[in-house]
Amino acid sequence: MADFSGLSQGVRIYSGSDDYTGGFLTNPTIPARYLGTQSGVVVLSRHVIIGSNTVILPRVTIGEGSSVGAQALVSKSLEPWGIDAGGPAKAGTALA
């Protein structure tokens, strides 16, 4: 998380997740070769604000100056200086 950024209460950031699409098994007792886990870095750039109870999934970069609305689901990287909301998060108004 870069300078001048903030998280509201209840924000959850995941760097790893199971694949629930049906092509893999999911369970902590299953051997790794049968799992479809996804993992990766989450980057929060400068001047980012994340609304309460937002979920951020692996392999996401939230661009500089982005605002993410409350209870959003961020599953893809977000462009700089945008306002994103919803599940999955979608661009609203660009600020640049």
Confidence tier at 94 by pLDDT (50, 70, 90): low
Question: In the chain, how many domains are there?
Answer: 1
CATH number at residue 59: 2.160.10.10
Please report, as a single letter, which amino acid is at residue 19.
D
Residues in the chain, total: 96
The range of the structural domain enclosing residue 60 comes to 6-89
Handedness of CA 77, 70, 10, 95 (dihedral sign): positive
Q: In this structure, is residue 96 part of a structural domain?
A: no
Q: How confident is the model at residue 19 (pLDDT cuts 50, 70, 90)?
A: confident
- Please report whether residue 40 resides in a domain: yes
Q: What is the pLDDT of residue 75?
A: 93
End-to-end Cα, the chain, rounded Å:
21
State the Cα–Cα distance between residues 32 and 6, nearest whole angstrom: 35
Q: 71 in a domain, yes or no? A: yes
pLDDT tens column, 28-47: 898 989 998 889 999 999 99
